[in-house]
Amino acid sequence: MLRLVLAAIPIAALSIAVPLVNRIEPRVAGLPFLLAWIVGWVLVTPAFLWTIGRMERRW
Protein backbone atom coordinates (compact mmCIF):
# COMPACT_ATOMS: atom_id res chain seq x y z
CA MET A 1 0.00 0.00 0.00
CA LEU A 2 2.82 2.39 0.88
CA ARG A 3 4.43 1.69 -2.50
CA LEU A 4 1.27 2.79 -4.30
CA VAL A 5 1.10 5.98 -2.27
CA LEU A 6 4.75 6.75 -3.02
CA ALA A 7 4.16 6.13 -6.72
CA ALA A 8 1.08 8.36 -6.72
CA ILE A 9 2.76 11.38 -5.12
CA PRO A 10 4.81 12.47 -8.17
CA ILE A 11 1.88 11.77 -10.49
CA ALA A 12 -0.40 13.93 -8.37
CA ALA A 13 2.21 16.67 -8.06
CA LEU A 14 2.72 16.83 -11.82
CA SER A 15 -0.91 16.60 -12.86
CA ILE A 16 -3.39 17.48 -10.13
CA ALA A 17 -1.37 20.17 -8.35
CA VAL A 18 -0.35 22.11 -11.47
CA PRO A 19 -3.46 24.35 -11.48
CA LEU A 20 -2.81 25.12 -7.81
CA VAL A 21 0.76 26.29 -8.40
CA ASN A 22 0.17 28.04 -11.72
CA ARG A 23 1.90 31.31 -10.82
CA ILE A 24 4.52 33.45 -12.48
CA GLU A 25 5.72 34.97 -9.20
CA PRO A 26 7.69 34.08 -7.15
CA ARG A 27 10.57 33.24 -9.40
CA VAL A 28 12.82 30.35 -8.40
CA ALA A 29 16.33 30.54 -9.87
CA GLY A 30 14.98 32.92 -12.50
CA LEU A 31 12.24 30.49 -13.58
CA PRO A 32 8.52 31.08 -13.17
CA PHE A 33 7.21 29.12 -10.21
CA LEU A 34 5.24 26.64 -12.35
CA LEU A 35 8.28 25.72 -14.41
CA ALA A 36 10.42 25.39 -11.28
CA TRP A 37 7.70 23.15 -9.77
CA ILE A 38 7.72 20.86 -12.80
CA VAL A 39 11.52 20.71 -13.02
CA GLY A 40 11.76 20.02 -9.30
CA TRP A 41 9.33 17.12 -9.46
CA VAL A 42 11.01 15.68 -12.56
CA LEU A 43 14.29 15.70 -10.63
CA VAL A 44 12.77 14.24 -7.42
CA THR A 45 10.66 11.50 -9.06
CA PRO A 46 13.60 9.07 -9.51
CA ALA A 47 14.17 9.19 -5.74
CA PHE A 48 10.57 8.04 -5.21
CA LEU A 49 10.99 5.27 -7.78
CA TRP A 50 14.31 4.19 -6.26
CA THR A 51 12.64 3.96 -2.84
CA ILE A 52 9.83 1.86 -4.28
CA GLY A 53 12.39 -0.40 -5.97
CA ARG A 54 14.23 -0.89 -2.69
CA MET A 55 10.95 -1.76 -0.99
CA GLU A 56 10.17 -4.30 -3.73
CA ARG A 57 13.53 -6.04 -3.31
CA ARG A 58 12.97 -6.40 0.43
CA TRP A 59 9.73 -8.29 -0.10
Domain boundaries, the chain: 2-58
Q: What is the pLDDT of residue 34?
A: 93
| Overall pTM > 0.75 | yes
What distances in angstroms separate CA 30 from CA 8, 22, 46, one per listed residue? 29, 16, 24
Q: What is the pLDDT of residue 27?
A: 94
Q: What is the pLDDT of residue 59?
A: 66
Task: List pLDDT tens digits, range 3-58.
Answer: 999 999 999 999 999 999 998 889 999 999 999 999 999 999 999 999 999 998 87
Q: What is the pLDDT of residue 58?
A: 74
